[in-house]
Structure 1
Amino acid sequence: MNDENLRKIQAITEAALLAAGKPMSLEQLRELFTEDERPARQVMEHVLTLLDRACEGRGFELKKVASGYRLQVREEYAPWVARLFEEKPPRYSRALLETLALITYRQPITRSEIEDIRGVTVSSNIVRTLLEREWVRVVGHRDVPGRPAMYATTRQFLDYFNLSGLDQLPPLSEVRDLEEIGREIEKNIQAEIQFEGSTDDDEQGPGQPEPDTDTESNQTLH
C-alpha cells in the first residue's frame, strides 16, 4: 500500500475517532471501509501507530482503552480544558468508592461478601448507582442458598478510568487499605472528568438518597 493510501486511511480514522465520541475497536474502524477497500488488520494497526505519532506535541493523544482507541485531551492540559465546563464534578461517597474498590480487586464478589469485609451494610442505592453507570455488572450467581448475584467490573469501567485492562491497576499488595484505594479511584474519576468534560450528576441521582449508614468503617483487604 502506497503512502497516499495510508494517509487517506489515517485521515478517515482520525475523523471517525473525533466524531464517534467513544472508543472504537480496530475491527469497528475497519468496518468503516467497503469490502473492496478495507485495510488488513496489520495495515490498520500501522495506521494507528502513524496517528499516535502524529499526535506527538499536540494537545490531544491517541489512547488505547478496553473498548478500543479514542482521541482525548492530554492530562497536562486538563485544568485548562475543564474551565470550558461550568458543571461541578460529581462527588462520590466513601462507601461507594470502597464498594467499587472491593468489586475491582475481588471480582467476582457478592454483596454479602462486600459487607463481610467492610463490616457494614451496602446501601441498595450504591449498588444501583454502580449498575446504572455501567461500571459493574452481574456476571453470575454464587452456588449457595439464595444464589446471590456476583458483581464484576465492565469495559465501561476500564474506559472511564483510562485503562486497557485490570492489569494496569496497582497491585493489591501496594494498596491494601480500602480508604487508600477509594482515594485513588476518586483521583482517577476527577482526572477523567477533566478529560471528557463530564456532566454526570451526583451518585445519588435526582431522587432522595438513602441514609448512608457507612460511617467510620476502617477495614482493610485481607
Structure 2
Amino acid sequence: MTTDPAEAPTAPHASPELSVATPLDVPGQPRLDLDRALEALLFVADRPISTVALAAAVARPVAEIRAAIARLAADYDGGAPSGEPRTDEAATEQSGERGIRRGFELREVGGGWRFYVRDDYDALIAGFVIEQSTQKLSQAALETLAVVAYKQPISRSAIAAIRAVNVDSVVRTLAGRALITEVDTDPETGAILYGTTDQLLEHLGINSLDELPPISPLLDDGQGGFDVDRA
C-alpha cells in the first residue's frame, strides 16, 4: 500500500516547530542551543535560579527546562555529553562514551539551581578563598571587619573607640565590597549602625554568625570583649 507523503511520520532528527519566537531564535543569528543557553544563565547567577525563572528567561516550556537541567547535571557528573549535535532536538543515537566528571556540579537548593564546587574540592577551594581574601583586605580592614562581626550592630564611633583609630575609610571600603552594610540607626544619637552581610558568610563558608569562633580565647588576656590597648 502506498503511503501518502502528507501522512508520513516525522523524521527522527526534525526540529520541533515553535509557535512563538524565543530569545533562542534571534533573526539573522544562528539559533542558540537550549542547554548551552541555560548553562550561560546559571554561570552568571549569584543565587539559585528556579526552573520557572529559567523557563521564562528563554521562553520555553518548564518541561523542556527540567529535561535540559537533567542533561546538564548528567553531563557534569560524567555521563554522556549533552549538546551533540543539539540538545533541544530529538536525541541522537548514543555512542556509549562517557564524559569527564567536572569539579563542579549543578545542585538544586532553595527552590532553584546553581553551580557548586563538588564536596571533594571543598578544602582546596576554602584554602584558596581564604588566601585570596586575606591578600585583598588590609590588616586594618580585617580588624575592623572582625569588630563589626562580633559587635554588630555597631556605629563607626564605637568601632573607632575599640580600634583607637579613625575607621571612616576602612568602613567605606568594607561597605563597598558588600562585606558590611547599614542595618539600623541608633535611637538616641541617630548614628548609622553596621552589620555583616550574607556575602561575608559565603566567604567564610558558614551559615550564620552563630558559627563564628568564640572571641575570648583569641585575646591575650582571655577576657570577653576586645582588647583596646594595642601598644
TM-score, length-normalised on structure 1? Answer: 0.50
Report 1 or 2 for greater relative contact order, CA contacts < 8 Å, sequence distance ≥ 6. 1
TM-score, length-normalised on structure 2? Answer: 0.48
**Bigger radius of gyration, 1 or 2?**
2
Considering fraction of residues, name the structure with more helix: 1
